[in-house]
Amino acid sequence: MSRLIQLLLVNLQVIVIVLSLVIIGSFASPAFAQQFAEPNYEIRGGEVLGFEIDSENKSLIISLDVRARGELVITLPRNLIDAKIGSEDREFDVIVSGLPLRFLDETTTSYDRTVTIPIKRSNSEIIIMGTQVFSQISTVQTKTQTIDEMIDAELRSEIPGGNAKLLIFSDTEWSGALQSSSFDYTEITGISDEGVIFECNSSLGSQGIFGAKILKTTQDGYLTIVAIQNQRILSQGSTTTPFGEILIDGNCDSGFETGPGGCLIATATFGSELAPQVQQLRELRDNHLLQTESGKSFMKSFNNFYYSFSPYVADYERENPIFKEMVRLSITPMISSLSILNYIDIDSEAKVLGYGISLILLNVGMYVGIPVFAIMKLRKINP
């Protein structure tokens, strides 16, 4: 009888342990077995082995197999990981194989953040640290997916006459104003979604610009505005704050693609897109070369060549200060020679060709002719 009681007690203990494990597992599973879709990324020089969310440290851990110097370009959805101070974005803290990354190239939208991280052979892990991870997808975020689909549909359709279009997505009342270099300040108001087609063109010698300022006139709801032209997004913004306001502006699209990343080498060399040397190159491109057909043809061929190597040069400049100074010394004479075009009137195809050929010959003389002449002189002196 006593043995039977002992067996019953043992069985009861086993049942209690099993039930305890089941209960613990039911609570622990959501915390430690979070599943998520991998972010979109492109990697050069290696392979991504996997992603892991660290909820406690609010970070995304990326395992790598790096075979050569390269870079990882990764788009991080805001409902996966984000970094904010209040309602304002702040930079992610990025640690590459235990060392903090000092400089981070980043492009942000209302829905995601794309960062470019340089990598080299010794790297095996990247940790991207934010202020929140794996936030629950709210009604607004669900609506955002629908907004993305509508924006994609708009980008696939053609706007008549090369005009631009302001897309407004909202579930509440809003009001504001729209203006461009092609027309005066115009007030606009509405409820829910709306699209406004407007003229926004570049003219000879002048880059067209636009601006829109929209206010959400209620406490609740969301507001997103997107300006598009020639199948691309010019600028965008979003808010869910009470009586939130969005201001967007930018350059109109001339209808010619000038390249994916601007003056990459000059920006890395002089430290900022606002540096006078970079601004000079941009103004030369937008206000002179892109205003003629021969200039556009030249820029198209130049971009195909330039963007095949410039991202790698710019990355290496950021990692190597000595190389950066060498590039600075190399391109400064060329930029100085190009500044001549800012003081002359280029208003015809013939002038673009004439001045362009002259500057090419001038730079060939500086970078090739002078060194060759110096070498020949040295050989005569030391036969």
Per the CB < 8 A criterion, the answer to whether 114 and 106 are in contact is: yes
* All domains of the chain in start order, with CATH: 40-133 (2.60.40), 139-251 (2.60.40), 264-376 (no CATH)
Residue 221's pLDDT band (cuts 50, 70, 90): confident
Token code pair at residue 134:
């794996």
Whole-angstrom distance, CA of residue 111 vs CA of residue 383? 68
Give the other-Cβ count within 10 Å of 35's Cβ: 5
| pTM of structure | 0.37
- Look over the chain and give the mean of its residue pLDDT values, rounded to a whole number: 77
In this predicted structure, what is the pLDDT of residue 295? 74
Biggest alpha carbon distance in the chain? 117
What residue type is 39 in one-letter code?
P
What residue type is 109 in one-letter code?
T
Residue 305's pLDDT band (cuts 50, 70, 90): confident
pLDDT digits (tens, 9 = 90+) for 135-178: 444 444 445 557 888 888 888 888 877 788 999 999 889 999 99
> Mean pLDDT throughout 355-382?
75
Token code pair at residue 308:
């095949």
Per the CB < 8 A criterion, the answer to whether 66 and 76 are in contact is: no
Percent of the chain whose pLDDT exceeds 90: 19
Residue with tokens 């869910």: 240
pLDDT digits (tens, 9 = 90+) for 2-60: 554 554 454 545 444 444 543 444 343 333 334 567 888 999 889 999 999 888 888 99
pLDDT digits (tens, 9 = 90+) for 283-302: 777 767 776 777 777 777 77
In this predicted structure, what is the pLDDT of residue 127? 95
Token code pair at residue 73:
């370009």
In this predicted structure, what is the pLDDT of residue 141? 47
In this predicted structure, what is the pLDDT of residue 149? 81
In this predicted structure, what is the pLDDT of residue 155? 84
Give the other-Cβ count within 10 Å of 48's Cβ: 18
pLDDT digits (tens, 9 = 90+) for 109-136: 877 899 999 999 889 999 999 988 864 4
